[in-house]
Homo-oligomer: A and B are copies of this chain.
Amino acid sequence: MSLPDYGRAFTLWRDAAPDWQAYTHHAFVAGLGDGSLPREAFLHYLRQDYVFLIHFARAWALAAVKADTLAEMQAASATLHALTQTEMPLHIRICGEAGISHEALQGTREADANLAYTRYVLEAGYSGDFLDLLAALAPCVLGYGEIGARLAGSGGPYADWTDTYGGSDYQQLCHDVGALIDTALVQRLGADWPSLPRAKTLAARFATATRLEAAFWDMGLRPDSAV
């Protein structure tokens, strides 16, 4: 099965990230696909993901602050809006159905691996510019898309998860974000941007964020450990 094509920058960055396979083919991911993931690990992940989503939404808000064009601002703002008004309430509902109350969610102690990833992304955005921020956000948005595209239709206890990220809505979002990144790069750095030193820095941001995503899955598999 061929990989989805989310654009030029993503393809370059993915191919240069040493931990891309470790992230997208992680044991946690395999367990989502074949249903072998212990439910306890999934619930642990759901709780951590709630904390993650808050900081992820903050990072998209920062992208709106750092946008250069109205189109970039509208794209970042729409993602933020979807996250805060739709995905987070949905996440709270799903957790509720799984027996995790909103109070329990809010009381979740943020795991170090969770904190490491989100603060890395936010700091990259604060210290760098719009491109640095998107390069750090991309592994999450687009990696989930690639995983979802591969696992969609596998069925099993985690079919909701795999079909959400493999579904056409999320896949369209991935294509849109990929295009947002490609356009932003060309508008700032020109069509030959991959030949610039800046390209190495951006690829390194993507690679580090990818490594931290893999560490997030590691954490997901350790529901009992000190987080």
> Which of A72-80, A145-153, A164-172 touches B?
A72-80
**Is the CB–CB distance between A58 and B65 below 8 Å?**
yes
Shortest distance between the CB of A120 and any CB in chain B (Å)? 5
A197 within 8 A of B: yes
CB-based nearest B residue for A129: B129
- What copy number does this chain have within its complex? 4
Question: Which secondary structure characterizes the binding site on chain A?
Answer: helix
Chain A: how many interface residues by the 8 Å CB criterion? 49
- 19 A–B contact pairs at CB < 8 A? A54-B73, A58-B127, A61-B62, A64-B80, A64-B84, A65-B122, A66-B127, A66-B128, A74-B85, A77-B80, A77-B85, A78-B84, A80-B80, A112-B113, A112-B212, A122-B123, A128-B129, A186-B197, A188-B196
Instruction: Please give me the 3 A-B residue pairs with the lowest Cβ-Cβ distance, nearest first.
Output: A116-B116, A61-B64, A119-B119
